[in-house]
Amino acid sequence: MRTIEERLQEHKQASDRMQAPPELESRLRNALDRVPNKKKKNEAVLWFGLSAAALVLIIGTYQYPALTYYGNKMFNMELNASSFSEAAEEGYGQVVNKSTTLEDGTVITVERVIADDNAFTMHYSIDRPSGSVYSSGSFRYNVGNIQGFMTNSSTIGGGGNSSGDERQYEGVYSFEPISPFSRTLTVTFNEWLENGERVSYPISFKFDASKAMKSLVKEKISQSVSVDSGVMYFESITASPSSTLIKGHIRIDEKEKHWFFGKTQLYVNGMEMNPTRTQVQFNKTTGLSDFELRFDALPTDVISSIELLVKESSGYYKIPESISLASPSDQSIKVGNEKLWIRSVSKTDTGYDVVVASKQFTILDKDNIFAEALGSQIPVSSISSGRPWDLGNGNVLWERTYSFNTSDRPETLHLNGYHYMKTYNKRVTIPIE
């Protein structure tokens, strides 16, 4: 595996070698001298061509960093750190050092930014004035979106630490990727005052897209995994120096009312990667649910295998079951692959309430549940939302109240099935080119 120093040196050498051939000017001049004079009817075309060339020149001059960014991608000039923190320690990215001073003398400084395909990461510091220190209770600052040309990137996450004397806080915030055509970016820090008022402090700085870091792996996956309630489609993987991002979408059966994303693991060279974020969002355009799975950055640039493991996801257990309500207790009842607890059966003003507990993602199918009393079937009239039941041993179950309008005490509870978190262990191998 190459070290970060070796990769930085390779990038510098490659950049130094990127220059026009010495004979290019004379070759172009000779070619122009050989062009015959055109007739007047071609003058309009000539003027149009010159205008277009001038426009391209203006755009190219203004957006040179962005064009350099895309040029590096097209010519495969890859530069990757084995970890984001390593890249920052090596001074990679763009130095900013822009500050703003709050009314009480606190100084907020944007120190460095690093951009890649998966995120825009900002290193910043907050220095308290002399005589005041930090405490967890006095921390009252947050960060808004990064804004610029074609850019309005929301935060992904952040964190940091206070110095030993608690006068300085050093933090890192990650944002959604920004447009490489942004020349000036603005980040807004917010301070919440003791009276509840929010004061905003924008910091603007120039952005050089040519310093963006490129991705180690950027591949289409185009594979799917079927589960009980639908299909999970894995579309792409992008492994940048800051993180590894898996994108896809879910096609859920129309009749399905419950969906649990579950757990999908990423393995690189047989080693499990640490997950950092799972996001599922409904797409109004497609009518599907898009998902993003974020993991830590790849630990090496020598990749022999990449594999996804759909460990668990939404499942449905369908089989008629009858559960006795004669003796409610805190003892579990095995129903299929899961356990249920009949905690109580109590009389109410309108009938009877049956309290049933289960794991958090085990939900009885309410469309096919009823109680039986003296030979009569009584449909459920209402179901409460789930509430935690702390067992006191580190485990927490969830209970719901099922209400039945009947004057007779229910004897049995009938259900047709339940939704739960099912183990699949289905693998998706990602080809590496």
The CA angle 344-349-350, to the nearest 5 degrees, is 85
| DSSP strands (E only) in 306-431 | 306-324, 332-335, 338-347, 352-358, 363-364, 369-373, 376-383, 387-390, 396-404, 412-430
- pLDDT tens digits, residue range 366-383? 888 999 999 899 999 999
Q: How confident is the model at residue 141 (pLDDT cuts 50, 70, 90)?
A: confident
Q: Please check whether residues 92 and 165 belong to one and the same domain.
A: yes
Least confident of 34-43, 121-130, 203-212, 381-390: 34-43
- pLDDT at position 91 is 59
Q: What is the pLDDT of residues 73-112, one digit of tens each?
A: 333 333 333 344 455 555 567 899 999 998 888 899 999 9
Residue 262 maps to which CATH number?
A: 2.60.40.1640
Confidence of residue 311 (pLDDT cuts 50, 70, 90): very high
User: What pLDDT was estimated at residue 89?
Assistant: 56
The phi and psi torsions of 58 (rounded to 5 degrees) equal -65, -50
Span 123-128, mean pLDDT?
88
**Residue 353 — very low, low, confident or very high, per pLDDT cuts 50/70/90?**
very high
Q: Are residues 288 and 378 in the same domain?
A: no
Whether 111 and 136 map to the same domain: the answer is: yes
Q: Is residue 127 part of a domain?
A: yes
Whether 240 shows a pLDDT value over 90: the answer reads no
Mean pLDDT score, 19-35: 50
Shared domain for 325 and 378, answered yes or no, is: yes
pLDDT given for residue 59 in this prediction: 44
Mean pLDDT, rounded, of the chain = 80
Angle at 108 between CA 107 and CA 110, to 5 degrees: 140
Within 10 angstroms of residue 122's Cβ, the number of other Cβ atoms is 26
Query: Is 141 found in the same domain as 246?
Result: no
Domain annotation covers residue 130: yes
Q: Are 203 and 221 found together in one domain? A: no
Angle made by CA atoms 399, 403, 406, in degrees to the nearest 5: 150
Residue 245 vs residue 158, higher pLDDT? 245
* Gap between the Cα atoms of 189 and 142, Å rounded: 6
Residues 90 and 201 placed together within one structural domain of the fold: yes
User: What SS3 state is found at 72?
Assistant: helix
Cβ atoms of 232 and 91 closer than 8 Å? no
Distance CA 86, CA 90 (A): 6
Whether residue 27 has pLDDT greater than 60: no
Same domain, 177 and 129: yes
d(CA 113, CA 117): 14
Distance, CA of 230 to CA of 139 (rounded, Å): 44
Give a yes or no: residue 205 inside a domain. Answer: yes
With 90 as the cut, is the pLDDT of residue 26 above it?
A: no
DSSP 403-426: EE--SSPP-EEEEEEEEEEEEEEE
Per-residue model confidence (pLDDT) at position 206: 92
Same domain, 188 and 224: no
pLDDT of 25 higher than 60: no
**56, two tokens:** 């391209």
pLDDT classification of 237: cutoffs 50, 70, 90: very high
Average of pLDDT values for 218-242? Answer: 92
Query: What pLDDT is attached to residue 431?
Result: 86
Among candidate residues 194, 211, 228, the one where a domain is terminated: 211
Q: Which domain holds residue 268?
A: 217-313+424-430
Write down the number of H helices and E strands in the chain.
5, 26
326 lies in the same domain as 356: yes
For residue 4, tell me if it sits in a domain.
no
Number of domains in the chain: 3
Q: Which residues contact 237 (CB under 8 A, 6 or more apart)?
A: 217, 218, 219, 221, 244, 245, 246, 247, 306, 430
Helix axes 43-62, 64-74, angle to 10 degrees: 90
The pTM of the whole model exceeds 0.85: no
Of 211, 231, 254, the one marking the end of a domain is 211
Say what the pLDDT of residue 131 is: 62
Place of tokens 């390593």: 86
Same domain, 284 and 329: no
Q: Which of 175, 192, 211 is the last residue of a domain?
A: 211
Domain assignment present for residue 122? The answer is: yes
Is residue 321 in a domain? yes
Residues 382 and 416 in one domain: yes
Cβ neighbours, 10 Å, residue 317: 19
